Amino acid sequence: MKTGAKQELSLTGRALRLLSSREHSRAELERKLALHEGEPGALMKVLDALQAKGFINEERVLESVVHRRASKLGASRIKQELQAKGLEPEAVATAVQALRATELERAQQIWRKRFGRQPADTAERGKQVRFLASRGFAGDTIRKVVSGSNED
């Protein structure tokens, strides 16, 4: 019996250590702690207890990712990150919809910081387009930003 209790404390300790550095979704914690689970079901008990106490909160995870990444990435890339964290599809869709409303403005800010001027030739244009595409911005947004339409 003591071994199981020790294992559970160990899982709890590991989970709390992970949660102390940043917000983690339940699915992330399951993936990261599965190797340390001694007896079947122990990890689920630990995660249930942490979720009941409010240590695991999917809404906080979503808000944290959006807050940290929105200034650097487009809605598509953030959507991928949220999905990889195993968050509810409805919550992800709502967050992405809100991000799309500000996508052009965010892309312009990133573009200004990185390039600051219209491309001189097609090679430079391609470089700017690839940069914004790698950040997860939509094609129509990239075209508007690089062509200079909708500028302030």
Q: What is the dihedral of CA 41, 7, 26, 21, to 10 degrees?
A: 180
- How far is it, in rounded angstroms, from Cα 142 to Cα 135? 10
pLDDT digits (tens, 9 = 90+) for 23-80: 999 999 999 999 888 888 889 999 999 999 999 999 999 999 999 999 999 999 999 9
The answer to whether residues 146 and 111 touch, using CB atoms and an 8 Å cutoff, is: yes
Q: What is the DSSP letter of 85?
A: T
Residue ranges of E strands in the chain? none
**Pair of tokens at residue 71:** 């200034």
Over range 71-94, report the average pLDDT: 95
Query: Confidence class of residue 2 from pLDDT cuts 50, 70 and 90?
Result: very low
Per-chain mean pLDDT for the chain: 90
Domains of the chain (ranges; CATH) run 2-56 (1.10.10.10), 57-101 (no CATH), 103-152 (1.10.10)
Residue 40 makes CB contacts below 8 A (sequence gap 6+) with: none
